[in-house]
Amino acid sequence: ETGVTQSPTHLIKTRGQQVTLRCSSQSGHNTVSWYQQALGQGPQFIFQYYREEENGRGNFPPRFSGLQFPNYSSELNVNALELDDSALYLCASRAGGAQETQYFGPGTRLLVL
């Protein structure tokens, strides 16, 4: 158990819909990152939030957006869902800089039909 929780565990949506995924970071961790893991692939970095501001982003379009709240919990929003958005979405939190370990939650599995 890492202390990072995510909800929901599973979700089914249809193309064009919007989805919000939630993450509660480990206590004391002020940095939250989101990753997309397609089936049989390694996770791909979506973006990172530090003290409620996005401070890093991977190669994902603007329809992927997020928020971080004062208690450091976070949301990932995806608009205009596409079939290729079907994946496991992982949230990770850490305290401190790049050398510190990122602790992952169990993920939300999203299926887009």
Partner 1 sequence: GDSVTQMEGPVTLSEEAFLTINCTYTATGYPSLFWYVQYPGEGLQLLLKATKADDKGSNKGFEATYRKETTSFHLEKGSVQVSDSAVYFCALNPTSGGGADGLTFGKGTHLIIQP
Which residues of the shown chain bind partner 1 in the complex (CB under 8 A)? Answer: 2, 31, 33, 35, 40-48, 50, 55-56, 58, 90, 92, 97-99, 101-107
Residue closer to partner 1, measured from CB, 59 or 71:
59
Residue closer to partner 1, measured from CB, 41 or 79:
41
Tokens 């397609």 map to which residue? 38
Contacts of 53 (CB under 8 A, 6+ apart): 68
The distance of closest approach from Cβ of residue 36 to partner 1 in the complex, given in angstroms and rounded to an integer, is 11
Residue closer to partner 1, measured from CB, 2 or 20:
2
Q: In this structure, are residues 93 and 34 in contact, taking their beta carbons and an 8 Å threshold?
A: no
Task: Give the residues across from 34 on adjacent strands.
Answer: 47, 91
The distance of closest approach from Cβ of residue 79 to partner 1 in the complex, given in angstroms and rounded to an integer, is 21
State the pairing for strand pair 64-68/53-57. unpaired
